[in-house]
Amino acid sequence: MLYLGVQVEVETEEAGEEVASLPFFSLTRRKDNIILGVIEIKDLTEWRSIESSIESIPGVVSVTILSSVSGE
């Protein structure tokens, strides 16, 4: 399992709320237009589909992995 520290930049309040309440986005913290949180994935192919699903939310500017921790 990979635990990714992910940053999502948003440009609207609505997008911010939607991103922060994504069920698989845990320990979310908010600072202005950035939402920080952790996503648990099995491998990078899983990440690609998650990344595009977050990017498809209207108002999302960018999705960036800031850190990663691996463990079983």
CB of residue 26 to another protein, shortest distance in Å? 5
CA distance 46 to 41: 6
Q: Which of 44, 48, 49, 52 binds another protein (CB under 8 A)?
A: 49
Task: Report d(CA 58, CA 1) in Å as an integer.
Answer: 29
Least Å from the CB of residue 65 to another protein: 8
Torsion of CA 10, 13, 14, 15, to 10 degrees: 10
Give contact residues for another protein (rule: CB under 8 A).
1, 3-7, 9, 11-14, 16-18, 20-38, 40-41, 46, 49-50, 53, 57, 61, 66-69, 71
